[in-house]
Amino acid sequence: MTVRALQQISTGRNGVGTFILQCKKMDFHYCDWAGSSKGMNGFIKSLLPKFAASNAQVEFAVSPRPSKHPVIIAQYINGREKSICVRNMEPYEILKKAEILRDGSGEKNRRTAKPVQSINESVRGVWSPYHGNGLKV
Amino acid sequence: MKRLRIDRWTGQLLLARSGPSPASTPRAAALRSAAVPRCTAVRSQSTIAVPQIPKEDDDHHYDGTDHTRFPPLEQLPPRATSLPSPPPERALQSAKLAALHARLSLPERLPLQTLARTLVDASADENPQFSNTNLAFVGQSLINYHVAEWIMCRYPRLPMSIMYAAMKGYAGPTSLHQVARSWGVEHAAVPGGEVDPGLLQFSMHKPGDAVIGFGYRRAEADGLKKHKWRHGMSSRVVFDDDFGEVVDTEDAKDELRLRADAEYGNEYTRSLAEKAYATCARAVTGAIYAHAGRERAKAFVEAHVLSRTLDLSKLFVFKKPTRELSLLCAREDFEPPVARLLSETGRLSRTPVYVVGIFSGKDKLGEAAGSSLEYARTGAAMNALKSWYLYSPGEGVRVPSDMLAEDAAPWEPAYIDMGEIIGH
């Protein structure tokens, strides 16, 4: 007769209560010899120290990848990773690509048709045909 | 699957560590020692000088590395590989740890060494001075206290069983496991002194004997589990842990534990991982309390635990809601509840819909729609009971710990209900 309980687990929503940046690691790969890495080498020398200092939440790793195009690989909290090949780009173009990767959620790109997505219940409730005055046909 | 070609591996993988052996297994050691002579001709991307390689090799093969530009990889302190967990001084060199510290916006006063300690489970390091057991005990007490006072003040009429379920939904191990995962905490495959201190370390093979939380071990615990003996709510309040669950005995898991060594993963290893992640989340809370104080710890619990969403109305299971509702009305001196049909459609069709409301005098207590009269009436009684039990004084209700602030306004007594409906 007494009330029994069903167990459920609370669900978190990033940004409610606290926000956690979803990008957790960024790898910068470059080649010393190849011309396509020229911009990347400049980026690593001039822009990366400041970028890394202003994004302490992200773990940065710089490593050579000889005879390959330069690439930025970002790892996300949801376990996925995204990579952008930055061959023949200027340092500031590469900075923009790095910012894209840093700001991403790690989810696959998908089209959002609705401006707001929420797991909260609708304030107005679901429309019911059995309430109100009804429609005269 | 692609075959591994060890003779093509670069020196970084095979020769990186000149100090103690990074691989403690004899197989890995044999693999490495076998591979060393072959790698002398391979272009090495590592910058650490390896004693086995003759110096003249560098003259014959330009290895392309500038030793001033690429400083050596981290030098492990001596004896590091023989330790059960990374030495605390290595915490300052871990990029993962610094990133985690910044990601959680932890206070400056919380040093990286303490954060590293919160990531060492008692199953990895038995020494309580290096594992997170003590911090987790503090964190567990804090989290459970704040969650309990918040639920009690916000929903003062919750029955005890629902209260326990809500506690577990917010602060239980499964929930805290997800919290720690959402922080981006990764775990090491096997704990050890050479592991990056920014990785969560726990053993998949032994549970560790850390006691995290209150509760008594019942003498009849085995019988409760095996024969499903009845244990009432009162004894659960007295004996059991903060979630009203019997304090577990590890004996029942022997079989699963044996299988854990052979299988890749099973229920037992999953529960160990879940426990380790939850303990880590608690330990971080405890560490914040230890270094930054009560207010920061409370804000941390509110931000990471209480801000999560849990629909309490989905936790209820009623057995005889109509009878319970009439008992409630008798107890509260309401008029006896009466079910009335508000509207209906398609009574003779395949899909009829009845909307039934339950009234006490002129007040409507609850309403539900259903495909039969009985179903709709029961649903309406459940809704009426839920709206009674889920009464809330409001979102901004004050909790006792608000009074601990120095400039707190005088306390106004919180609403305390007389209790749930007890019938026969």
pLDDT at B79 over 90: no
Q: Phi/psi zone of residue B361: left (φ > 0), alpha (ψ -120 to 50 degrees), beta?
A: left
Burial profile B140-158: b = 16 or more Cβ within 10 angstroms, e = fewer: bbbbbbbbbbbbbbbbbbb
Q: Are residues B306 and B321 in the same domain?
A: no
B1 domain-assigned: no
For A121, the closest chain B residue by CA position comes to: B311
CB-based burial label for B279 (10 Å; 0-12, 13-18, 19+): buried
Alpha-carbon torsion, ordered B174, B179, B182, B185, to 10 deg: -90
A36-45, B152-161, B239-248, B355-364: lowest mean pLDDT where? B239-248
Q: Classify the C-alpha dihedral B281-B283-B284-B289 as positive or negative.
A: positive
Tens-level pLDDT at each residue, chain A (137 residues)? 588 999 999 999 999 999 999 999 999 999 999 999 999 999 999 999 999 999 999 999 999 999 999 999 999 999 999 999 999 999 999 999 999 999 999 999 999 899 988 888 888 888 887 788 777 77
Statement to judge: residues B195 and B344 lie in one domain: no
Q: What mean pLDDT is reported for chain B? A: 83
Other beta carbons within 10 angstroms of residue B324's beta carbon come to 23
Contact list in A for residue B341 (CB cut-off 8 A) is none
Q: What is the pTM of this model?
A: 0.83
Between A127 and B57, the higher pLDDT residue: A127
pLDDT, one tens digit per residue, over B193-235 is 989 999 999 988 777 776 777 788 888 888 888 888 888 888 8
- Give all domains of chain A, ordered by start, each with its CATH number: 35-103 (3.40.30.10)
Q: Give the number of A-B residue pairs with CB atoms closer than 8 Å.
A: 132
Mean local confidence (pLDDT), B143-148: 97
B389 vs B56, more confident:
B389
- Predicted local distance difference test score (pLDDT) of residue B221: 82
Indicate if the pLDDT at residue B94 is higher than 50.
yes
Q: Taking 60 as the threshold, does the pLDDT of residue B9 lie above it?
A: no
Looking at residue A123, its pLDDT comes to 87
Q: Identify the weakest region by mean pLDDT among A116-130, B182-196, B401-415.
A: A116-130
Helices then strands, each counted (H, E), chain A: 3, 5
Are A74 and A22 spatial neighbours (Cβ–Cβ below 8 Å)?
Answer: no
Interface of A with B in 107-126 (CB under 8 A): 119-120
Nearest to A84 by CA among A40, A24, A20: A40
Report the alpha-carbon distance of residue B31 to residue B17 in Å, rounded.
Answer: 14
Q: What number is the average pLDDT over the span B286-309?
A: 96
Of A16, A56, A77, the CB nearest to B98: A56
Q: Are residues B209 and B291 in the same domain?
A: yes
Q: Which CATH number is B124's domain given?
A: 1.10.1520.10
Instruction: pLDDT band for B2, please (50, 70, 90 cuts).
Output: low
pLDDT computed for residue A56 by the predictor: 96
Claim to verify: residue B297 and residue B338 sit in the same structural domain: no
Instruction: Output B286 or B81, whichever has higher pLDDT.
Output: B286
The verdict on B206 and B157 lying in the same domain is yes
The residue of chain A with its CA nearest to that of B162 is: A5
Tell whether B305 and B320 lie within a shared domain. Answer: no
Note whether A4 contacts B: Cβ–Cβ < 8 A.
yes
Angle separating helix axes B294-301 and B267-292, nearest 10 degrees: 140
pLDDT confidence tier of residue B20, bands split at 50, 70 and 90? very low
Domain-located, residue B145:
yes
Task: Please report whether residue B177 resides in a domain.
Answer: yes
Tell me: pLDDT of B64 over 50.
Answer: yes
Tell me the DSSP string of B359-372: EETTEEEEEEEESS
- According to DSSP, residue B21 is labeled -
What DSSP element (H or E) covers B25?
A: none
Q: Are B279 and B155 contained in the same domain?
A: yes
Same domain, B327 and B299: no
Is B88 among the domain residues?
A: yes
Which of B291, B310, B329 is the C-terminal boundary of a domain? B310
- The set of residues, in sequence order, having a beta carbon less than 8 Å from that of B273 and lying 6+ positions away, is B177, B187, B202, B204
ipTM field: 0.93
CB of B342 within 8 A of CB of B367? yes
**Tokens 């050596």 label which residue?**
B72
Question: Do B328 and B298 lie in a common domain?
Answer: no
Res. B97: pLDDT tops 80: yes
Instruction: Look at residues B310, B333, B351 and tell me which one is the last residue of a structural domain.
Output: B310
**Which residues of A fall within a CB distance of 8 Å from B353?**
130
Number of structural domains chain B divides into = 3
Q: Among A41-55, B66-80, B131-145, B168-182, where is mean pLDDT lowest?
A: B66-80
Is the distance from CB of B167 to CB of B158 less than 8 angstroms?
A: no
Percent of chain B with pLDDT over 90: 58
Q: Do B182 and A21 touch (CB under 8 A)?
A: no
- Expressed as residue numbers, the domain containing B148 is 84-310
Please tell me the distance from the alpha carbon of residue B418 to that of residue B404, in angstroms, as a whole number: 27
* Local confidence band at B153 (pLDDT 50, 70, 90 cut-offs): very high
Assess whether B160 and B231 both reside in one domain: yes
Residues B200, B186: Cα–Cα separation, whole Å: 6
Lowest mean pLDDT among B83-92, B267-276, B286-295: B267-276
